[in-house]
Amino acid sequence: MAGSKKSGHIEKFLKKADKALQEGIKKADEVLEDAVEFGAMTAKQASKTGKELRSQAKKERKELEKKGMKKITEGLTVAKNVTSNTHDDLEILKKLGKLRKSEVITEKEFQEKKKKILGRI
């Protein structure tokens, strides 16, 4: 009888151990399912965030291109005006030189105007 008591305890122990293993496996499966679901949600969020960032970068690039083109256009306009003004100033100097030669203006008046015009160039 002592042998059958021992085998009864062993069977009970084995049943408890088997039950604990089954519960552990069940909990592990639940955790794994949650992890997979969380991973999928994280991947979707990362994809969404990536798309949003690419879209924002495209908008900012277009805005920078517009600003850059505006600055280039402004620079060209200023350069044209400077060139045009320089040409006009040189023409004025030529006319002043003719006026001086024909004694319509004095040498002093010519030098004053010349100094002023050359200061602008």
**For the ranges 42-51, 76-85, 108-117, which has the lowest average pLDDT?**
76-85
Least confident of 1-10, 34-43, 64-73, 76-85: 1-10
What would the pLDDT profile of 90-107 be if each residue is shown by its tens digit? 899 999 999 999 999 999
Mean of pLDDT over the chain = 86
**In the chain, what are the domain boundaries?**
2-120
DSSP assignments along 35-72, one per residue: HHHHHHHHHHHHHHHHHHHHHHHHHHHHHHHHHHHHHH
User: Is the distance from CB of 120 to CB of 89 less than 8 angstroms?
Assistant: yes
Residue 61 CB-half CA count within 13 A: 6
Percent of the chain at pLDDT above 90? 42
- The model's confidence at residue 4, banded by pLDDT at 50, 70 and 90, is low
